[in-house]
Amino acid sequence: MNNKKDKVNKLIAVLKLMLLFGILIAIPVYLFVFQKDMMKSFKSLDDVTAFLNAHRSKTVLLYIGIQVAQIVISVIPGQFFQIGAGYLFGFPKTLVFSVIGAFIGTFISFYLAKILGRESIKALFKNHKIDNYLDHLNSQKGYTIVFLIYLIPGFPKDIVGYIGGLSNMNFKAFVLFSLLGRTPAMSISIMVGTLYYSKNYTALAIVIAVVIVITGICILKRKKISGYIEKLYKKVSK
């Protein structure tokens, strides 16, 4: 009986290693070696827009897939695509597509972490302090921290989805607060594309100013926001 259990555990360990290998090596190698022309086309906004235009028949699925890939393996510049898609689809549609992609990407990274386990995630993100992040996410202010990490520019956001999967967090609440935090940055990127290509520079400047002000208010009023988030968490986690 124990021998059979050991074999099953070894098989699971091998499958985890294969999955880890695919994320760490196989997918990036495929993209940068076998799809290098495509990856080179992601280096400027004009190239990204041209790429999306060249695949008109499947642009929506392609864009959502790129948003997912940007979260799960972090090798594609997501903001360029948000700006380009904002030009092609307009603001409302692009925001919906972006939220769908962010939800799917967060779902994958969250549950992938549960499958792989802590040591594998440390191998994926060896330069980050996984345990420190995990302590913060497991604290009483965990959901506030998730919201602020996704809201404030400069934080390594995509690792948080994986750490969320290792934490004690409820997925429904985690994905809600991560999407709420992501939405302002996604919105501004999409609006930049929509307004820039329509040459509406005055409106573009106003949008940027409003987002900066809202972000500043969120930082200054973080205690009140924290209290509101805790109340919201109690509702969504029931």
Mean pLDDT, residues 195-215: 80
Cα 25–Cα 37–Cα 193 angle in degrees, nearest 5: 100
Residues 6+ apart with CB under 8 A from 141: 226
pLDDT at 238 over 70: no
Question: DSSP string spanning 94-154?
Answer: HHHHHHHHHHHHHHHHHHHHHHH-HHHHHHHTTTS-HHHHHHHHTSTTHHHHHHHHHHSTT
pTM for the full predicted model = 0.77
Arithmetic mean of pLDDT over the chain: 79
Which pLDDT score, from 0 to 100, does residue 179 have?
94
Output the CA torsion 225→103→154→21 (10° steps). 140
Residue 27 and residue 208: Cα distance in Å, rounded? 35
Q: Which residue has the higher pLDDT, 120 or 64?
A: 64
Q: Domain ranges in the chain?
A: 41-236
Residue 82 and residue 77: Cα distance in Å, rounded? 9
Query: Residue 171's pLDDT band (boundaries 50, 70, 90)?
Result: very high
pLDDT 10s digits, 126-165: 656 788 888 888 888 888 888 888 887 666 677 889 899 9
DSSP state of 57: G
pLDDT 10s digits, 20-48: 667 666 666 766 665 666 666 666 677 77
Least confident of 71-75, 153-157, 168-172, 202-206: 153-157
Which pLDDT score, from 0 to 100, does residue 144 have?
84
Which pLDDT score, from 0 to 100, does residue 154 have?
62
Query: Residue 93's pLDDT band (boundaries 50, 70, 90)?
Result: very high
Say if CB 164 and CB 146 are below 8 A apart: yes
Say if CB 189 and CB 86 are below 8 A apart: yes
